[in-house]
């Protein structure tokens, strides 16, 4: 398993669960100095960071890009895969395709979290799920042609009314006309929704393609009450080999949150 830390590069967003903020090079150098293996980027768009410059920076520092987030598509542009307006759904697909291409240029998958949207008012759940399936099938196939996987993230009930638990995510991905979409196991969301985090991880097994490492209060691991030793053992049991990426609030400061995270990673996975 590989350690990873999040870096938010969206000036219009001033708060959120990312460890480092702004200044890609400064943050990447800090991550490398602490011993992280990778960085996960949250950018405003696919062209907000030049992939050549990013590749050169990560190569110099011995880092990799663990994943790229797509949430700015919703936060900035209001795009989701389940909007009743077909033009908005098409815009969401196009935005995510651009992010997939950007991620692929540095060997990283794209994550679909908030851009999945919700069941809109006045729309049947079955219709919204069909739109989500259509979007993920198209995007999973697009990612495959770019040599990367697509990562779908179940979110807690306060952020979406589509899919909240890993078990439901497993069933949903099994219904898609692509096998190139994996699941993101976000430990914060799971703390709200899952009866047992370790059991859910074991049932999802090889479908888990990325892990968001945060405690029960979405602070860095070690600042809440999640039984992380049991979670770590479950990930070991399924032979998970991907990134353990800190998507957590930068409490009390970004530098202290990063230090807390790498210490926790080394404690459980080192």
Active site positions, annotated: 153, 247
Q: At 203, list the tokens.
A: 């049932």
* 8 A C-beta contact, residue 255 and residue 248: no
* 8 A C-beta contact, residue 202 and residue 238: yes
The answer for 117, left when phi > 0, alpha when psi is -120 to 50, beta otherwise, is left
CA 53 to chain centre: 22
**What residues form DSSP beta bridges with 179?**
none
The Cα–Cα gap between 39 and 32 comes to: 9
Give Cβ neighbours of residue 61 (< 8 Å, ≥ 6 apart): 28, 29, 31, 32
């Amino acid at each position: 398993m590989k350690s990873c830390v999040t870096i938010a590069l969206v000036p219009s967003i001033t708060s959120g669960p990312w460890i480092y903020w702004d200044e890609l090079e400064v943050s990447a150098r800090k991550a490398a100095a602490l011993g992280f293996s990778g960085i996960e980027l949250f950018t405003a768009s696919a062209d907000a960071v030049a992939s050549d410059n990013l590749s050169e920076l990560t190569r110099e520092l011995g880092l990799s890009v663990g994943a790229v987030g797509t949430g700015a598509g919703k936060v900035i542009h209001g795009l989701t895969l389940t909007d009743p307006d077909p033009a908005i759904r098409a815009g969401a697909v196009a935005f995510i395709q651009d992010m997939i291409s950007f991620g692929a240029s540095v060997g990283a998958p794209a994550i679909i979290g908030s851009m999945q949207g919700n069941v809109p008012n006045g729309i049947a759940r079955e219709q919204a799920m069909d739109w989500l399936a259509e979007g993920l099938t198209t995007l999973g196939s697009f990612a495959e042609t770019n040599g990367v996987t697509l990562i779908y993230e179940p979110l807690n009930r306060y952020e979406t009314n589509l899919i909240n638990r890993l078990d439901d995510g497993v069933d949903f991905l099994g219904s898609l006309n692509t096998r190139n979409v994996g699941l993101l196991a976000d430990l914060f969301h799971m703390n709200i929704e899952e009866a047992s985090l370790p059991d859910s991880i074991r049932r999802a097994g090889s479908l888990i393609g990325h892990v968001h490492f945060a405690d029960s209060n979405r602070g860095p691991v070690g600042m809440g009450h999640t039984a992380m030793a049991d979670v770590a053992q479950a990930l070991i049991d399924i032979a998970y080999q991907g990134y353990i990426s800190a998507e957590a609030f930068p409490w009390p400061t970004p530098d202290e949150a990063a230090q807390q995270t790498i210490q926790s990673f080394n404690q459980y996975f080192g």
